[in-house]
Amino acid sequence: MGELKRTHDCYSITEESLETEVVLMGWVHRRRDHGGLIFVDLRDRKGITQVVFAPEVDEKSHQKAHSLRSEYVIAVRGRVRRRPEGMENPKIKTGMVEVACLELRILNTSKTPPFPLEEEKEVSESVRLKYRYIDLRKPHMVENLTLRHSVCQAMREFLNQHDFLEIETPMLTRSTPEGARDYLVPSRVNPGRFYALPQSPQLFKQILMISGMERYYQIVRCFRDEDLRADRQPEFTQLDMELSFVNEEGIMDLIEGLITHVFSRTLGIELNTPFPRLTYQEAMDRFGTDRPDTRFGLELVDITDIAAGCGLKVFNTIVEKGGVVRAVNAKGMADLSRKDLDVLTEFAQSFGAKGLAWVKIKEDRSWQSPIAKFFKPEEQEAVMTRLSAAPGDILFFGADSRSTVDRVLGELRLELARRRNLIPEKDFNFVWVTHFPLLEFDEDEGRFKALHHPFTAPSREDLDLLEEDPARVRSRAYDLVLNGIEIGGGSIRIHQEAVQKRVFNALNIGDEEAEEKFGFLLEALTLGAPPHGGIAFGLDRLVMLMAGRETIRDVIAFPKTQKAQCLMTRAPAHVSMAQLAELYLRPDWKQEEGQT
RNA sequence: GGGGUCGUAGUUCAGUCCGGUUAGAACGCUGGCCUGUCACGCCAGAGGUCGCGAGUUCGAGUCUCGUCGGCCCCGCCA
């Protein structure tokens, strides 16, 4: 770079800099070589500025500019000037001006990049991930990471103002029995023992409350060794928080303040508070899911009582066996073709439905449907009344166990909305879901498992059901849902040893096992534990939604593929036998190529 | 663990259903011309292990089997 010192970035060159001399450094985004005159779009993290190489301004740099290619790294000293009349480019912020080059330095050359750095051009994700450093040069990727940074800053700003301490918790910790699979790390100095990477700092933040820290937060990496999805990575980032001396209301108020601050600071969007609240029961009844997308209607309606008496055997049998019949009114969608209905049926089946019954409402309110004849006129009328059905509507029925019907109709509702573009893309609809069940019965393991985690406090009024009817105990947990995606979850925690022991019992964790795995927590609860609660936000998901992306990979600098591999570094990789031996690990898989 | 989908030039894709000449297009790339472009333009050119392996066939990008990989989903994710 010699004595050249960068004076501006490629975004901040404006008419205020006219006739001044500036030094820009960045990458050659595009070159338009007219022979006698060469234009280069110079790109840096902030933006793009057009540089003109003209022989009458500087012969030498004009000569040199012929050799410039895409992604060369250059430094340009030049004079800012107004573009000639009619030659302005309103598409870029610096489009009124240009920099006439007086001196060009090529800081580094570049081979032709493996894919174009243009937003519109779709490039397969595997190529993007292999060359992630080039992918990240794309302006929209810079925007995503910049937004992520701003969101973190706004969070810190708000929490610092509200008297929170940012405290780090260990990455090497112990494996916990409940929950997801752990990533394990062998201990060299403790042969045969393993650390686990944290699935969340849950226990440490509760201990911090018992330590009297009162308000804690951390933007922290968490690890879960489970299969990946568009919104799930093996390592992800959480805004983790915990407070003492609060109840649900206190936390939800605080979080609404936090989210409002973040949206205002980063996107300039002013959200309305308080956010709507639904109980788990309401959410399941109306949307068939505990993370409802509330940007559109198409709510579920129960017609089990009507179906029980109708002439359709399948419905009767299901109801007799304790199942339910529920329905969705797809308003004005009776124009769906036979083929559409076949596709939707297949869709429903992929979520476990046996079939998908439907009814089109004709002009005279009569039914066009394979199942019409099984419903007496008064039953048809009753169904239509309950679903507010009108001519032109089509009703979809789900009949099965409650959980299957909820899943199928919940997904069908989303699919119908997507097909008919009923979802306002720019909206941010937050909703709190509260009063989750504390436990759910796991058929495979034949025991109750915690719906959130085993440290969630049961509702006071349900406490005595813990032993007699565990399934009916509600918890003091709350989830924050944004546009149908769970972005945060938390609860008031158990702060009394006796209650914690009762919950462990309900989970079939014996005293001995509880003592062995959570002894430190149980003991801490007897040594001055304040009432406390908290919440954790999926930062990746939140930023993804704010950036309008469809996968969290687009807001993570170096994400992994569905097979949990990093295509750039090629992790995970083989290690040497010597390295394994040092860790007292003896593999019993076949020695593969690459294993030394 | 399961279902779906894709894999052809540097990139994005067509060709595969129904096997048959030298595997095409666009963008990009290379060279030449061009003083107002901004998706610059014009002319010329280079560029392919059709993911990999086996099989069927006179003949395979195309059919069959296997395998590897990307993505989406179910299960799983306290």
Q: What is the DSSP string of A319-387?
A: HHTT-EEEEEEETT-TT--HHHHHHHHHHHHHTT-S--EEEEEPTTS-EESTTGGGS-HHHHHHHHHHT
Say which DSSP state A111 is in.
Answer: P
The pLDDT value given to residue A477: 97
Between these two residues, A447 and A106, which has the higher pLDDT value? A106
Q: In what order do the strands lie in the sheet with A324-330?
A: A300-302, A324-330, A394-400, A357-361, A367-368
In the predicted model, what is the mean pLDDT of residues A454-483? 95
The mean pLDDT value for A565-593 works out to 83
- How crowded is residue A144: how many other Cβ atoms within 10 Å of its Cβ? 22
What's the pLDDT score for residue A1? 66
Distance separating alpha carbons of residues A55 and A58, to the nearest angstrom: 5
Nucleotide nearest to A200 (CA to C1'): B78
**What local confidence, expressed as pLDDT, does residue A119 receive?**
77
Q: What is the mean pLDDT of chain A?
A: 93
In tens, the pLDDT along A332-387 reads 999 998 888 888 888 888 888 888 999 999 999 999 999 999 999 999 999 999 99
* Residue-wise pLDDT tens digits, A260-315: 999 999 999 999 999 999 999 999 999 999 999 999 999 999 999 999 989 999 99
pLDDT computed for residue A2 by the predictor: 67
Nucleotide closest to A88 measured between CA and C1': B38
CA of A563 to C1' of B26 (A): 33
A410 CA → B34 C1’, Å: 62
pLDDT of residue A359: 95
Q: Report pLDDT digits (tens) over A373-421.
A: 999 999 999 999 999 999 999 999 999 989 899 999 999 999 999 888 8
Q: Which nucleotide is nearest to A62 (CA to C1')?
A: B35
Cβ-count burial A545-577 (b if 16+ within 10 Å, e if not): bbbebebbbbbbeebbeeeeebbeeeeeeeeee
Q: What is the pLDDT of residue A589?
A: 60
Which nucleotide is closest to the Cα of A122 by its C1'?
B12
Nucleotide nearest to A226 (CA to C1'): B77
DSSP letters spanning A41-109: EEE-SS-EEEEEE-TTT-HHHHHHHTT--TT-EEEEEEEEEEPPTT---TTSTTTTEEEEEEEEEEEE-
A259 CA, B28 C1': Å apart: 44
The integer distance in angstroms from the CA atom of A31 to the C1' atom of B30 is 15
CB A217 within 8 A of CB A199: no
* Nucleotide in closest CA–C1' contact with A50: B38
In the block, residue with structure tokens 């234009």: A39
- Interatomic CA distance for residues A329 and A303, integer angstroms: 12
Query: Taking 70 as the threshold, does the pLDDT of residue A494 lie above it?
Result: yes
To the nearest whole percent, how much of chain A has pLDDT over 70? 98
Contact yes or no for A264/A270 (Cβ under 8 A): yes
**Residue A451 near residue A477, CB atoms below 8 Å:** yes
The residue-averaged pLDDT of A175-182 equals 85
Q: Is the peptide bond before A274 cis (omega within 30 degrees of 0)?
A: yes
Comparing every residue's Cα with the C1' atom of nucleotide B41, the nearest one is A34
Q: Which nucleotide is nearest to A455 (CA to C1')?
A: B78
> How far is the C-alpha of A474 from the C-alpha of A440, rounded, in Å?
11
Instruction: State the complex-level ipTM.
Output: 0.93
What's residue A353's pLDDT? Answer: 86
Q: What is the pLDDT of residue A427?
A: 93
CA A272 to the chain's CA centroid: 22
Separation in Å: B53 C1' and A592 CA: 18
Distances from the Cα of A590 to the Cα of A184, A564, A582, A586, A594, angstroms: 21, 21, 19, 12, 12
Q: Does residue A377 have a cis bond before it (omega within 30 degrees)?
A: no
Q: Looking at the C1' of nucleotide B38, which residue has the nearest alpha carbon?
A: A89
Give, as ranges, the nucleotides of chain B with any atom within 7 Å of a protein CB.
1, 10-13, 27-30, 33-41, 69-78
If you measure CA to C1', which residue is closest to nucleotide B69? A126
Strand, coil or helix: A278: strand
Long-range pairs, A456-463, Cβ under 8 A, ≥24: A456/A491, A456/A492, A456/A493, A456/A494, A457/A491, A457/A492, A457/A493, A457/A494, A457/A495, A457/A499, A457/A533, A458/A494, A458/A499, A458/A503, A459/A435, A462/A438, A463/A499
Contact A471, A508 (CB under 8 A): no
Write out pLDDT tens, residues A65-96: 999 999 999 999 999 999 999 999 999 999 99
CB of A41 closer than 8 Å to CB of A50? yes
pTM: 0.94
Please compute the mean of the pLDDT values over residues A495-520 and round it to a whole number: 93
Measured CA to CA in angstroms, residue A397 lies from A131, A384, A407, A409, A509 at distances of 48, 12, 13, 8, 41
Distance A142 CA to B3 C1' (A): 36
Task: Tally Cβ neighbours within 10 Å of residue A585.
Answer: 13
Has residue A595 got a pLDDT over 60?
A: no
CA of A149 to C1' of B66 (A): 47
Our measurement of CA A392 to C1' B33, in angstroms, reads: 65
